[in-house]
Structure 1
Amino acid sequence: MTEPGPRLRADAQRNVEDIRRAALDVFRIGGLSSPLGEVARAAGVSKGTIYHRFGGRQGLIDAVVEDLVAERITGIIATVDTIADPVERFEEYLRRIWLLQYDEPAANDVLLRALPASEAVNSLCEHASEAAGRLLGDAQATGRIRHDLTPDDVYLLIWERGIIARACDQQPREGYRRRFEYTLAGLRAPAEPSP
């Protein structure tokens, strides 16, 4: 959110809200690296107005990232936390995060840490990483997920999947999903040999 400051005139407040709405729309479609010119055109303002009101790209992203991505990630965590089986919980977390990366370029940018200078983006990414580590630990405790898988491995799998989603934006969603199921299968512990 923007820092509290002097009360804005009604027209200036409308500009701020128009810019926020435009940024949400533009970033959802094109990711956080979308040109500020696109946001300005969508909001019906100049790029200078964006700089004046938000201090530039970083300030604008920090002002909208909560609405743009945080609710989706925290919603995924809350939803999977209701699943009783720890392995299903862990796998469903990865499925939902990977599909979010495919569906929403801005969420993918957050999970790829594309903006290392953004405290808001880094905090959100840390929250997602901590949840993944917790879910991994619970799943490993069942003995059904590989014991040698680390939280860093899980982070890198999310990162790799994000690179794939970004590089292969022409692939059908169902093919993308089918292929990540192979990755999930590889995370399961090998079956014990029969006596």
Structure 2
Amino acid sequence: MTEAEPPKATPKATPKASARALRADAARNEDAVLQAAKEVFLRLGVDAPVREVAGAAGVGVGTLYRRFPKRSDLIKAVFRREIDACADAARELEETRAPGDALADWLMRYAGFMGTKKGLAAALHSGDEAYAELPGYFRQRFEPALARLLEQAGAAGVLRSDIAAYDLLRAIGNLSMSAGEGGEAHVREMVSLIIGGLLRP
């Protein structure tokens, strides 16, 4: 009869592995908070109770406040994340669509982004120092993204004339933010007219 082998000791996590696990957990929590905040802000506005965001994210209010001590910190993080996603889509479209189609598709996406981010406009123009960096970040991400699309469409011969990227961003942004009767459908129709005026048939 052989002796039973002693149970093997479970390897202990190294400090580096533990640190990586904690960072991964923190990143997942932060992503969940920002996604929840995006949805809550869309539904209730940027003044929605923080507990609504924490509940939707499945984290405690204390966890939320440790990462975003002020409401303005959370609002800025949400808008920066959404700005990044919209700006990054331009590069994806450059690689998968013809230049004219990439420009048209991205302008529609940008119009949709602005139409659902009225809180962003309020923050941009609030005069609150907490949001002072947002206008610069807005231009830093969106202007080069659109300028590349315009340049490629021009090089392909499908753009009617030169146009400043920031002027076009402002025009479509103002249109999207001021949609009244007809709502989103009206905005899309108007943006289609703008795109039709830019691109050669």
Is TM more than 0.5 here?
Answer: yes
The answer for the alignment partner of 1:156 in structure 2 is 170
Query: Could you tell me which amino acid in structure 1 is paired with residue 47 of structure 2?
Result: P
Match of 2:18 in 1: none
Superimposed CA distance per residue, residues 115-153 of structure 1 (whole angstroms, 9 cap, x where no aligned partner): 75245x743542221010111122223444232422232
- Give the alignment of 1:1-195 within 5 angstroms: 20=34, 22-30=36-44, 34-37=46-49, 39-43=50-54, 53-65=67-79, 67-84=81-98, 86-102=99-115, 104-105=116-117, 109=120, 113=124, 116-118=131-133, 122-123=136-137, 125-165=139-179, 168=180, 171-188=182-199
Secondary structure of 1:70's counterpart equals helix
Q: 2:159·2:199 contact (CA, 8 Å) conserved in 1?
A: yes
Aligned residues: 171
8 Å CA contact retained: 1:19, 1:50: yes
Distance 1:100 1:146, change over 3 A: same
The 8 Å contact of residues 159 and 198 in structure 2, kept in 1 or not, is answered as: yes
Identity of counterpart residues, as a percentage? 24
Structure 1 unaligned runs (5+)? 1-6, 8-14
Within 2, Cα distance between the matches of 1:21 and 1:75?
18
Question: Would the aligned equivalents of 2:111 and 2:176 in 1 still touch at CA under 8 Å?
Answer: yes
Check 1:42–1:113 CA distance in 2 against 1; reply closer, same or farther (3 A cut).
closer
Amino acid at match of 2:97: I
Q: Which amino acid aligns with 1:93?
A: W
Tell me the C-alpha RMSD between the 2 structures.
4.1
Contact 1:28 1:68 in 2 (8 A): no
- Change in Cα spacing, 1:53 to 1:138, as seen in structure 2 (3 Å) is closer
Counterpart amino acid of residue 187 in structure 1: L
Which position in structure 1 is the counterpart of 2:17? none
Q: TM-score, normalised by structure 1?
A: 0.62
Which structure has the larger Rg over C-alpha atoms?
2
Following superposition, the deviation at residue 50 of structure 1 comes to 6.0
Instruction: Provide the residue aligned with 2:8 in structure 1.
Output: none
